[in-house]
Structure 1
């Protein structure tokens, strides 16, 4: 038996050895597969795929506009040094700075793919924004398509017989996995258009060709092409260009002077400019349209005939100063998720109250510091911000961090459960600035916080991590701010306006205006003389109308008289407190008679003024704050 057992024992050992080797091989394969899946998932999150890693692709775009009246751009994208079996051509779903889904691919038409030799290559549209192109062994590919462009706004694209304008994210796709590769753009413009205004620098000797080190930089440069009016100035040996498209009634000498003053004030705060040139693009249109920040440029929409009113000029100054401050705050100092960008999905962050709200704070503050505004005008602006926030019930139930995250959608009940992180972030910037100055005996400020963030986190370094802003505040102030952030940033406690404004010898005054009853109803304010009815867009939960009226109701009459947006407040003012106000409304398809009891709810207005009894210490803090210095 022993003789017969030996072979059996050997077989058993060989069997277990093979079993061990098989298990080890299976484990290795599973581990490799898991690693591959991890890479694929990670790549999907960052806009790359495993198939496109470690590539040395070069990408060249060519932009044509041969038929501008059709609103159709003609685009070709040529990729060289391609070594993969396929490439994925993908359009962004959002534009950095405009935190909403835009689906750039929706206006793409007549997509095609091939080689430079004319060979057609197969392609498949794999989702709403992506085309997969098979290479068939070719190292050079060419993709072509047209894009319909009839949106003249700061995050849009436009082409007609007067000019061309584009935000690159809506016109140019990236190759998945190759956003870090160098890019060039060649623009073929009509000969009658003399000027290209863009933050990109042209290649030497080729005025219509623009290289960029990567896709992020490439699309971060809006471009205006045509015969726009161009103003120029220099500050600290850096050239600035102001490109203005459209007719308007602004005094260009004063217009340029205000821009120069704002630039000088902000550049002085940071001790210099982080670019070699800067371009302002202004579109003068009937409706205006806000602004959008970029790496060394900005695009701004203004109402074309607002240049003759002080309100119109303040609108121009405010948006210009806001967008210019963005070149530091958000383009270089930013939350770590905001660059390098994932264009394929929404990118929520709880810090937009810093990136946008505190940009609003510094935007207005620098209009003052530049000498364009008086202190009294600045106080009025900040009081208006406080009034706006205090009228919104959402401030009681939503933190400013939650408001930041929620920017990607608008709740249907936004009138009662939301507010703008721009507004509260602006106010928080002011309160935080004064709080730091008070705790440090006016030796440090919020300016120092942003200078520290710039030193530690500015592009090309990674952005500040969660908790990074709070840590910078505590480092600058040398004290604990956890309670401040817990109450007013993470939480929903009412902001301590009076206490903190008093540090600077300022008073916040609340006044009730009984001549302007606050009905808690929002509706479009403009109405023609013959318009019938008003469409309700919101009803405040703190108003007497909340249990009577609803959004989308149409008020046809008040007290038996036809109404419109102009007449409605005047008609309601005829009734006294405690009286019932009868109204005829449409709710959907139903005609209803309703009434609400008028209660004393006068409009509350706010004003900030200097306290004549302020101490020397309070006056010194206020003076240093307003001019941007420390004691």
Structure 2
């Protein structure tokens, strides 16, 4: 008996602008098939941004017609993200409108007169059960946007037509519609293209290009290879925003254009770009098992985002240091900023790193007024963990093997060999194989339980210690000013301090009997002592009430410093950590 041939399916997308002032894209999908029924879906989320976003909210005027006769084809919406087509002809066309002005972010579509951005999962339908189908995408936008940037291969005769071998590739390849021209640079064996959206001086573009080249070369040297022949950086500097999203051959990055000429903010920009570029390896290739292939309708849950994002958060600044953009003092300040941010609330005692990862969809990405007290960031704490793991490996490994060597092995075994992600157990087994050190035994408690990492112990291995002096008092809350009035914006919970009768959005009317103002609150904060009480008159839900607050204690001066009064072994390990890329 002959094997039945698979049903043929040919897909061609056409994207145009329906109304630029109303921020609408028009999408037409031309389909050829021998199937009689077919269901199309729109993804509910974007890989790398772990929250269900219901992109179908912005899909309108769905219609299906016979390509030849122009007759309407029967269809029904079977749930919020799926459209089932019945008795379809061999050739038909789906058309719909996408609203693209919800938010200015790296994970949502955007369209205005200066540029357009397309996050593919938020725009392109896919045939259910057939993510492996190839397709073409053509843009009819040249009268408004002469340039369309994307990492997908283009048609030789039409620069606005792109091809993807399957939908995972399409959904991982964002598009930027632009009037701007790009610049190129090479690092390793990779040709890099940089598009800067926004009005920036030429010398800034030149400086950033040169700096990005150094960062890319440092990372390629660390990994020992360039996985891509081509890589696209998109940096949008047109509106105040901050964020980035990694892709297999590109990254989309947003930054506030008003800050780019400030030296410290420029370093923050480089850190963002360094972070997203390192995802070229960590996540997009070397990854926890759950992070691909994806189910675009429901969460892909993993407890290992502390590797995927946490390790990346450690290395983004570490690469800047080794590329010459941060001094030793700058780098220590970065490390201590992350460490202190973990210590400034109770979250370490509420949430483990694995829970932080697993619940990212409902907790980290759905933040509220209490999130800072109970939600651990797998970015920040994962980065601190990566630091401590590297220091422990330097101390314990006879051959100075570190996470760098572990990543080389993961790349060899799981990316190139097994062509899949790894489990937590496989990660720790690889560490032990490469370094001879049992990292799981040393660090597993900090993964599975809500428990602070003893950072001071690991930093002491390289002769770096903490200084804490000048205990002062703090109010225990933060405020925002609105029309000259003060409102409670954030309340800091501490287990060693009694709870206070204070709520978010309480209006502070008076402080110690005087009319409340920003300057009065600042004066109070400047002179507070730990345990000192102060009196507040509040307005809550239309009622006036009074409360007493006791100042919490904190150190005015706290920092990590390099110790010269330490053993030769610690000095040598410190020198190795600072002079070699671990």
**Alignment pair present for 1:375 and 2:328:** yes
Report SS of the residue matched to 1:342. coil
Task: Write the distance in 1 (CA, Å) between the matches of 2:345 and 2:25.
Answer: 43
CA 1:296/1:512 → structure 2, altered by over 3 Å: closer, same or farther? farther
Q: 2:382 aligns with which of 425, 429, 432?
A: 425
1:184: how far off?
A: 1.0
Cα distance, 1:89 vs structure 2 = 1.2
Q: Does 1:533 align with 2:486?
A: yes
In structure 1, the residue matched to 2:55 is 104
Contact 2:75 2:85 in 1 (8 A): yes
For residues 549-592 of structure 1, the C-alpha deviation after alignment (integer angstroms, 9 at most, x for no partner) is: 13343323322334355652323445555543121223333321
Off by >6 Å, runs of 4+ in structure 1:
none
> Which aligned pairs between 1:569-584 and structure 2 lie closer than 5 A?
569-574=522-527, 578-584=531-537
- Give me the whole-angstrom Cα distance separating, in 2, the residues matched to 1:626 and 1:135: 66
2:51 partner SS: strand
Per the TM alignment, residue 64 of structure 1 is displaced from its structure 2 partner at its CA by 0.3
Task: Supply the distance in 1 between the matched residues of 2:11 and 2:491 (Cα, whole angstroms).
Answer: 49
Superposed CA offset, 1:262-312 (max 9, x none): 111001111121112111111114422211101110011101011221221
Is residue 318 of structure 2 the alignment partner of residue 365 of structure 1?
yes
Alignment of 1:2-21 (within 5 A): none
Partner of 2:278: 325
Matches within 5 A, 1:195-274: 195-248=147-200, 251-274=204-227
**Which residue of 2 is the match for residue 163 of structure 1?**
115
Deviation at 1:190, TM superposition (A): 3.4
Kindly indicate whether residue 24 of structure 2 is the aligned counterpart of residue 72 of structure 1. Answer: yes
Question: Which consecutive unaligned segments of at least 5 residues does structure 2 have?
Answer: none
Partner of 2:237: 284
Residue 153 of structure 2 aligns to a residue whose secondary structure is coil
Deviations 1:364-421 (A, max 9, x none): 1100111111222111100111000111201023211111112112375423222211
Cα pair distance change 1:56/1:566, threshold 3 Å: farther
Name the counterpart of 2:467: 509
Instruction: Please identify which structure carries the higher helix content.
Output: 1
The equivalent residue for 1:479 is: 437
Paired position in structure 2 for 1:490: 448
Cα 1:567–1:149 shift into 2, 3 Å: farther
Task: Supply the distance in 2 between the matched residues of 1:385 and 1:316 (Cα, whole angstroms).
Answer: 17
RMSD, matched Cα: 2.2
* 2:147 is aligned with 1:188: no
Q: Look up the SS of the partner of 1:69 in the other structure.
A: coil
CA distance in 2 between partners of 1:575 and 1:613 (Å): 35
Partner of 1:81: 33
How many residues are aligned here?
570
Residue in 2 aligned with 1:145?
A: 96
Task: Tell me how far apart the structure 2 counterparts of residues 320 and 54 of structure 1 sit (CA, whole Å).
Answer: 43
Counterpart for residue 246 of structure 2:
293
Where does residue 75 of structure 2 map in the other structure?
123
Query: Following TM superposition, by how much is the alpha carbon of 1:100 offset from its aligned partner in structure 2, in angstroms?
Result: 1.1
Partner of 1:90: 41
- Measure the CA separation in 2 of the matches of 1:87 and 1:234: 45
Aligned CA distance change for structure 1 residues 116 and 502 (closer, same or farther; 3 Å): same
1:387 is paired with a residue whose SS is: helix
Distance 1:178 1:558 in 2: 64
Question: 556-565 or 374-383, which moves further after superposition?
Answer: 556-565
CA distance in 1, matches of 2:497, 2:239: 37
Q: Paired residue for 1:398, among 351, 354, 359?
A: 351
Structure 1 distance, partners of 2:298, 2:257, is 35
The equivalent of 1:414 in structure 2 is: 371
Higher alpha-carbon Rg: 1
Match of 1:621 in 2: 573
> Which has the larger displacement, 123-132 or 498-507?
498-507
Shift of 1:518: 2.8
1:523–1:358 CA distance, 2 compared to 1 (3 A): farther
Q: 1:213 to 1:183 in 2, by over 3 A?
A: same
Distance 2:62 2:100 in 1: 16
Distance 2:115 2:239 in 1: 17
- State which of 176, 180, 205 in structure 1 corresponds to 2:128: 176
* 1:519 matched to 2:475: yes
Name the CA distance, whole Å, in 2 between partners of 1:507 and 1:300.
35
Greater mean deviation of Cα atoms: 139-148 or 566-575: 566-575
Q: What residue number does 2:564 align with?
A: 612
Deviation, structure 1 residue 81:
2.5
> Contact (CA 8 Å) 2:289, 2:423: kept in 1 or not?
yes
Q: How far apart, in 2, do the equivalents of 1:125 and 1:176 lie?
A: 13
Give structure 1 stretches of 5+ with no counterpart.
1-52
Matched, 1:340 2:281: no
* CA displacement at 1:199 relative to structure 2: 1.3
Q: How far off is 1:540 after superposition?
A: 1.3
Please state if 1:467 is matched with 2:467: no
Taking structure 1 as reference, are residues 579 and 520 closer, same or farther at Cα in structure 2, changes over 3 Å only?
A: closer
Distance, in Å, in 1 between the alignment partners of 2:147 and 2:304 is: 38
Deviates more, 1:157-166 or 1:464-473: 464-473
Are 2:485 and 2:507, in contact at CA under 8 Å, matched by a contact in 1?
no
1:546 aligns with 2:499: yes
Q: State the secondary structure of the residue aligned to 1:458.
A: helix
Report the CA distance between 1:620 and its aligned residue: 2.9
Greater shift, 408-417 or 160-169, is seen at 408-417
**SS of corresponding position for 1:266:** helix
Normalising by the residue count of structure 2, what TM-score does the alignment of the two structures yield? 0.92
- Helix, strand or coil for the counterpart of 1:349? coil
In the alignment, the residues of structure 1 paired with residue 470 and residue 40 of structure 2 have an alpha-carbon distance, to the nearest angstrom, of 59
Matched residue, 1:29 = none
Partner of 1:20: none
Query: C-alpha offsets along residues 519-553 of structure 1, whole Å, 9 cap, x if unaligned?
Result: 222344xx47x521223333314475732213343
Q: Residue 555 of structure 1 contacts residue 583 of structure 1 at CA under 8 Å; is this kept in 2?
A: yes
| SS of structure 2 residue aligned to 1:305 | helix
* Aligned counterparts of 1:251 and 1:427: Cα–Cα separation in 2: 32
Aligned to 1:441: 398
Write the distance in 2 (CA, Å) between the matches of 1:604 and 1:140.
71
Q: Structure 1, residues 464-496: CA drift from partner, whole Å, max 9, x if none?
A: 124222222222221323322332212233322
